[in-house]
Amino acid sequence: MKQFTKLADVPDREHLIERAFECKHSPHAWRTLGNGRILGMVFFNPSLRTRVSTHRAASLLGMDVVAMTVGADVWTLETRDGTIMDAAAAEHIREAAAVMGRYVDVLGIRAFARLHDRLEDYAETVLERFAELSGVPIVSLESATRHPLQSLADIMTIEQFKRYERPRVVLTWAPHPKALPQAVPNSFAEWTLAMGYDVVIAHPPGYELDERFTNGAAITTDQNEALDGADFVYAKNWSSYRDYGKILSQDMRWQITPEKMALTREGYFMHCLPIRRNMIASDAVLDSPRSIVVEQAANRVPAAQAVLRTMLESL
C-alpha cells in the first residue's frame, strides 16, 4: 500500500480489517518490522486520539516517531504558490515537504477543510502537495474530505459489537456550536457502504453530503424514522456541503438522548470524539452502557498499526 488517504488506496479492504484484528489481539507480534524507520506526523489542527494512537501504533512496530505542530513547534507554512510571503507564514510547503521527505520514511498529515472554498477543500490540495513534494508514502490523519483511520476503527468497532450479519447503521447529524468539516461523515459513509451495511443517513434539510460518498445510502430528514430499529447510532455534526461551510441549524431536537436511543434495536452509540456533551448527545447517553465511544477510540491503535504494518511491507 503506497498511501492511505481514502478507501480506494486500500488494495484489499477485507484483508486490512483482518490485519487490524490481528494487531488488536497480538499488538507485540511485529516489534521489529519498523526498526530504523521514522514516521513523521504533521498537524495543522489539534488532535488527541490520532496523535497518540498513531504514535503508539508506530512504536509497537519498532518505528521512531516525530510529531510536528504547524505554527507551534515547526514554522507556519504557506501552501499557495506564487504568493509574496510577507505575512505570517515563515516557510513554504515546497521546501518544508521536500525536506521532511529526506528525514522520514512515512508522513502522516492532518489538514482539515478550511470551509471557505469547497473546490479547494475537495481538491485536497494540502494532502496532494505533501504527497507530490515529499516523495514518501502519505497517511491521512484527517484531510479536508476524509478521515480513513477513523473509519477503519469504526468498522472494527461495528464488526466487534454487531449482533446481525447486516447491521442497520445510522449516521445522524447532531447540533454543535461551530462549523465542522464533512470529513468524518464522508469517510464513514464511504466505508460502511463498502461493507454492505444497511446505511441510513439522517440530517436536517440543507445538510446533504456530497453524493459521491453517500450513493447507496437511505437518506432522510426524519431522525426518529432513521433511528427506528438501528443497531448503531453514529452521531456527528457537520457543516453544510451545499451552502458550503455554513451552519444552517442548531436544532437541539437532533441531540441524541435516552428517548432517541429507545427507538433503536438496543442500539449502540458511537462518535469519533471529541464530543461536546449535552450538544451532540446527553450525559445520560454517553454515561450509559450503550455508549461504545471509548472502545471505538481504543480501536484507533490497531487500525493505525495495520495501516503502518502494510505500508512498511511495501517500503
Q: Select 19 or 49, whichever has its Cβ closest to ligand CP.
A: 49
What character string, x for contact with ligand CP (CB under 6 A) and - otherwise, covers 49-78? xxx---------------------------
List, edge to edge, every strand of the sheet that includes 232-236: 218-220, 198-202, 168-173, 232-236, 268-270
Q: Select 108 or 267, whichever has its Cβ closest to ligand CP.
A: 108
90 binds ligand CP (CB under 6 A): no
SS3 category, 234:
strand
On whether the CB atoms of residues 181 and 112 are closer than 8 A, the answer is yes
Shortest separation between residue 184's beta carbon and ligand AN0, angstroms: 5
Question: Residue 273: left (phi > 0), alpha (psi -120 to 50), or beta?
Answer: left
47 binds ligand CP (CB under 6 A): yes
Q: Find, among 267, 265, 300, the residue nearest to 281 by Cα.
A: 267
Task: In whole angstroms, give the CA distance from residue 252 to residue 54.
Answer: 34
176 binds ligand CP (CB under 6 A): no
192 binds ligand CP (CB under 6 A): no
Q: Using the structure block, give the residue that is written with the C-alpha cell 480513513.
A: 148
Among 48, 90, 99, 294, binds ligand CP (CB under 6 A): 48
Name the residue with the smallest CB distance to ligand CP: 50
Cell numbers given for 255: 441531540
113 binds ligand CP (CB under 6 A): no
48 binds, options ligand AN0, ligand CP, none, Cβ within 5 to 8 A by partner type: ligand CP
Q: Select 48 or 123, whichever has its Cβ closest to ligand CP.
A: 48
What character string, x for contact with ligand AN0 (CB under 6 A) and - otherwise, covers 100-129? ------------x-----------------
Q: Select 41 or 227, whichever has its Cβ closest to ligand CP.
A: 41
Beta-carbon contacts of 47 under 8 Å, excluding residues fewer than 6 positions away, are 110, 141, 142
What character string, x for contact with ligand AN0 (CB under 6 A) and - otherwise, covers 171-210? ---------xx-xx--------------------------
User: Crossing angle, helix 148-161 and helix 49-60, to 10 degrees?
Assistant: 80
156 binds ligand CP (CB under 6 A): no
Amino acid letter at 280? I
What character string, x for contact with ligand AN0 (CB under 6 A) and - otherwise, covers 137-156? -----x--------------
Q: Find, among 49, 280, 254, 76, the residue nearest to 178 by Cα.
A: 280
Cell numbers given for 89: 507564514
Count CB-CB contacts under 10 A for residue 1: 18
- Which residues are registered as beta bridge partners of 270? 234
Q: Find, among 297, 186, 294, the residue nearest to 238 by Cα.
A: 186
Contact footprint for ligand CP (CB under 6 A) = 47-51, 142, 150, 272-274
Contact footprint for ligand AN0 (CB under 6 A) = 112, 142, 180-181, 183-184, 272, 274
